Amino acid sequence: MAVVKNILTGLLVLVEIFLIGVVLLQSGRKAGLSGAIAGGAETFFGKNKARSFEGKLQRWTKVSAVLFIVIALVLVILE
């Protein structure tokens, strides 16, 4: 049982680091003045948002957050 806990703890640390990195790479909701000027470009990118870099970052944030919660709950249950 100790081996499983150690493996899950190591995996949890890796997911934590990945989650922090993905969140830090995302831009804010409002990009300031440049977002106001380039607002017309949102109509094109809005359709293809899932394929853009921002869309991928959002997807990876959700996946890593779910993994973090599941692994943390499994570790608590194993205690």
Residue range 13-50, pLDDT digits in tens: 999 999 999 999 988 766 555 555 555 555 555 556 66
Which residue range is the domain that position 55 belongs to? 2-22+41-78
Q: Is residue 58 part of a domain?
A: yes
- Look at 11 and 44; give whichever has higher pLDDT: 11
Q: Is residue 32 part of a domain?
A: no
pLDDT at 69 over 70: yes
- Give residue 53's pLDDT: 86
The pTM assigned to this predicted structure is 0.71
| Count of structural domains within the chain | 1
Q: Is residue 28 part of a domain?
A: no
- Give residue 8's pLDDT: 95
- Give residue 66's pLDDT: 96
Q: Per-residue DSSP letters for 26-73? A: SPPS--THHHHHGGGGHHHHHHTGGGSHHHHHHHHHHHHHHHHHHHHH
